[in-house]
Structure 1
Amino acid sequence: MPEFTAGRPTPLALRLPDGRRLGLTRYGNPAHRPVVFHHGFGSSGLELPDEPALLARRQLQIVAFDRPGVGQSSVYRPLTFSSFADDVAAALDALDIPGPVGVMGWSVGGVHALALAARHPARVAAVQLLSTCLPLGEPAAYRRLSRTWKLLRWGQTAFPWANRTTFLWLSRQWARRPDAAIDWFIRLMRAEEARVTARYRALLRDAAVQGFANHGRGVYDDAQAWCRRPGFRIEDVHAPVRLWHGADDGVWAPGNIPYVAGRLPRATVQLLPQQGHMLYLENWPAILEEMSGLLPALVPPL
C-alpha cells in the first residue's frame, strides 16, 4: 500500500472480504476527519480538485472509491446500490476508519451516498448531494422522471446488449484518444456544463479514462444498477443532508430537488443561480467548508 505523500492524491487498492479488489484515491492527510466521495457516472475517484492546503485548513481527508469495474476495482455482477454501500463499509473497516464519516456524492454518486447512509446509518454523520439524480428503478421516483429519462431507462433495460456495445466502443475511444473523446463530449453539452468542463478539461478527461477502464464494464454495470430497484428507502436516511443543485442544471432538472428533500427527514436545499451540473468543481471550497462544519471537531492526540 503506498504511503501518504503530503500534497498529493494517493492511489490505494484494498481487498474486500470476498477477495475482490477495490480501488480508491485518498486526498489529504489520513489523520484528518474522513469524508467518503462517490463519483459520477462514467467517471472515477480522480474527478476531485487537488486542493491539499484547503483540505488541511478544514482538517479533512477525502476517500474517493472507484465503483466495481472502474479503475483498479474488480468487476462485480450484479452491482446494486446496496452492494456497493456494503463494499464501502467493509473498505472503511480495512482503512481503520470506524466512523462516523461525512459522505458526498455527485450526480448518480448522490444515490450511492444515500444508499450508504440508509444501510449503514451509524457510519454516516452528514451527507452532501451535489447535483444529485434520482434512482431510475424506484417506482415512486420513476413517476417524476422526464420523458427523456424514461426513454433512456427503457433503452438500458430493453436493449442491454446495445448499451454494452456502446460502452465498449466508448471505452476504446477514452483509452486511445482521450483528448478527442472529451472534446466530443464538450460539444454535446449545454452551455453551462460545457464551460465548466472545458475549464477542468484535464481533470475530467483523466477521471473518465479510469471510469471507462475494463472495457467499459463498470459503466455498463453502474447503468444497470441505476435502473434496478434501489434496495433502500430514501426516507431511511436520518443524517443531516444538504442538497447542492444548479438552477441551470442541464442534466438533472432542479424541479426534482424539492421532491428529494421532502423525502429526507433532515434535508436542506442550496439552489445556486446560473450554475449547472458541474457546480461542485466551482464551489469546492464552500462545499468543504460546509462539510467541515457538519462533522465533529478533530480531537488532538494526547
Structure 2
Amino acid sequence: MYSLTAHVDHSSGLTLLERGQEFDSRGVQHCTQGCSFTLELHLRVSSTHCVAGAVGRGVLLPMPSDWAKFLPGQQLWAVYATAGDERVANFKKLLLGFMIGLLAWTYQSICPPPPKKLGSLNGPPITSPRIKLRDGRHLSYKEFGVPKEMAKYKVIFVHGFDSFKHHNVIATSASPALIQDLGIYIVSFDRPGYGESDPDPNRTLKSSALDIEELADQLELGSKFYVVGFSMGGQIIWTCLKYIPHRLAGAALIAPAVNYWWPRLPTQLSKEAYSRQYLQDQWCLSVAHYLPWLTYWWNTQKLFPSSSVISRSPEIFSRQDLELVPKFVTPKSIEDQIRHQGEYESIHRDLNIGFGKWEFDPTEIENPFPNNEGSVHIWQGDEDILVPEILQRYIAQQLPWIKYHELKGAGHMFPFAEGISDAILKALLLGKS
C-alpha cells in the first residue's frame, strides 16, 4: 500500500483522504473525476517505480474500480501529466509577457522622439528670417556680403553635417575687401531639421535641390545663381547638378562627402577608402545604408562605440585640422541651436540620405555648362581623414569637365585656412586658378 498526504480543493463537500491514511482503491473512490487537488506522495514500492518526495497539482484522472491493477509508476505519471501541462502553460504566459515587453522596449528604442516644435511654448525660439516652402515647411536663412540688390554675384552656401547657417566658411573666412570689390552676396540656410528650419520627414535627394531652388526664387536671386557646399553640403551640390542644372551659374564642392555605395565606384577602391575610416564610423555608415530604421537606436545606444564624427572626436582631424578647428567654433549659445530640434531629424536623417541608396550616380552627370558659360570645381585635401582623396580623384577623372583642386598637406577643414576661401571664390566667379 502507499503512504499519501492529500489536500483536496473542491466545493462539492466530498469526503477527503485524511493525512497519513493508507492509499487503497477504497480511498480513491472518495475523489471523483475533475476534483482539484494537491498531492504529496511518498511511494513505498519496488525501486523501479519509486519517486520519493514528489509534489503535484492537477485534476484527478479517472480510476478503474480495481486500483491494484495499476502499477504505481503509471499512476504517478498520470497525475503529473496535468501538473506539467500547467507549469508549461504558466511558463508560456510568462514568456509571452516577456516577449511583449521586449518588443515594446525595442520599439521605443528604435523610434526617435518627435522633434521639438519651433516657436512653440516649450520649443526652440525663432530668431532668424525664414521663408515658407511649397509644402508648408519653413527654411531659415542668413545673408552675408553686399546687399543682393547691388550684388554682381549671388551665391547660396550649403552647410555640412552637424552644422548650420552660421557656419558659412566662404563668407566668414573670405577677405571682406574681396567680397566688397567683387560685389558678392552670399546666403546660407539651415538645412531641414537643423537650426531653425522645419524638419522634412519626406526628405529626398531631389527635395534638397528643390529647397535650394525655391530659396533662390523667394529671395529673388534671379534666373541663375552659384552654389557652394562644404563636406556633406558639398555632397548636396551633386543633387543641384542633377536636378536644377538650368538654374546654376557655377558650382563648387569643398571636400564633398562620398557615398561608398555609389554603384559606379570601383569595388576595391571603395573598400580601400572605407577601411580607412575608424571602425565605429564604418559601423555607423553601414547601419545608415543597410538598416536606416536603426540609425536612431545605433547612435544613441551605449553598447558599442558611437560615431567619432557625431561625438566630435579629435581623432578625425588631421594635423592641419587641429590648427584650424578654433576658427570653426561658435559660441555655445549659438552652437546649441544645431541639434535643438532633436538629433534624428538633423544628423541622423542626414546619414540616411547621404549614405543611403541614391537614385543616381554622380559620375553619370552630364556637363551643365557645355559652352563653358560656367564651371564646376572640386576642392580636396590630400590628408583629409573624413573624405578619402582616392575616391575624389576617381570621380574627377570620370568627369573631365570638372576642375579638380587637390591641396597638399590639407585636411578636411582647409577652407578655414588663410586665403583658401578667396581662392575658391576667385576660381568660381572669375575663372582664376
TM-score between both structures, scaled by the size of structure 1: 0.80
What residue is the counterpart of 1:238 in the other structure? 368
What residue is the counterpart of 1:12 in the other structure? 129
Does the residue aligned with 2:163 lie in a helix, a strand or coil? coil
CA distance in 1 between counterparts of 2:251 and 2:294 reads: 35
Q: Please identify which structure carries the higher helix content.
A: 1
CA distance in 2 between counterparts of 1:45 and 1:12 reads: 12
CA distance in 1 between counterparts of 2:164 and 2:265 reads: 25
Q: Deviations over 1:77-132 (max 9, x none)?
A: 23222111011111211111223211111111112112112211111121111111
Go from structure 1 to structure 2 and tell me whether the alpha carbon gap of 1:201 and 1:186 turns closer, same or farther (over 3 Å shift): farther
CA distance in 2 between counterparts of 1:206 and 1:196 reads: 21
Alignment of 1:220 with 2:340, yes or no, is: no
Count of residues in Structure 1 that have an aligned counterpart in Structure 2: 274
- Read off the aligned partner of 1:24 and give its amino acid letter: Y
Does the residue aligned with 2:336 lie in a helix, a strand or coil? helix
- Read off the aligned partner of 2:338 and give its amino acid letter: G
Q: Deviations over 1:170-225 (max 9, x none)?
A: xxxxxxxxxxx99963465333222211343337x677533323111211111111
CA contact 2:318–2:412 (8 Å) conserved in 1: no
Residue 81 of structure 1, aligned match among 198, 205, 217: 205
What residue is the counterpart of 2:160 in the other structure? 40
Q: Rg: which structure is higher?
A: 2
CA contact 1:126–1:294 (8 Å) conserved in 2: no
CA distance in 1 between counterparts of 2:410 and 2:210 reads: 33
Residue 430 of structure 2, aligned match among 276, 293, 296: 293
Correspondence list, 1:166-181, <5 A = none
What residue is the counterpart of 1:196 in the other structure? 324
CA distance in 2 between counterparts of 1:15 and 1:84 reads: 15
Where relative contact order (Cα < 8 A, 6+ residues apart) is larger, the structure is 1
Question: Cα distance, 1:12 vs. partner?
Answer: 2.7
Q: Deviations over 1:46-65 (max 9, x none)?
A: 11243544321221111212
What residue is the counterpart of 1:124 in the other structure? 248
Q: Which runs of 5+ in 2 are unaligned?
A: 1-126, 302-308, 370-374
Does the residue aligned with 2:313 lie in a helix, a strand or coil? helix
Correspondence list, 1:127-146, <5 A = 127-141=251-265, 143=267, 144-145=269-270, 146=274
- Read off the aligned partner of 1:279 and give its amino acid letter: F
CA distance in 2 between counterparts of 1:252 and 1:126 reads: 23
Residue 27 of structure 1, aligned match among 132, 144, 148: 144
CA distance in 2 between counterparts of 1:45 and 1:103 reads: 14
Alignment of 1:114 with 2:242, yes or no, is: no
Alignment RMSD (CA, Å): 2.9
What residue is the counterpart of 1:164 in the other structure? 296
Identity %: 23
CA distance in 2 between counterparts of 1:83 and 1:100 reads: 19
- Read off the aligned partner of 1:185 and give its amino acid letter: S
CA distance in 1 between counterparts of 2:315 and 2:229 reads: 25
Q: Which runs of 5+ in 1 are unaligned?
A: 1-9, 170-180, 296-302
Go from structure 1 to structure 2 and tell me whether the alpha carbon gap of 1:260 and 1:226 turns closer, same or farther (over 3 Å shift): same
CA distance in 1 between counterparts of 2:283 and 2:380 reads: 23
CA distance in 1 between counterparts of 2:233 and 2:322 reads: 20
Correspondence list, 1:239-254, <5 A = 239=369, 240-254=375-389
TM-score between both structures, scaled by the size of structure 2: 0.57
- Read off the aligned partner of 1:215 and give its amino acid letter: G
CA distance in 1 between counterparts of 2:431 and 2:400 reads: 16
- Read off the aligned partner of 2:339 and give its amino acid letter: F
CA distance in 1 between counterparts of 2:300 and 2:138 reads: 22
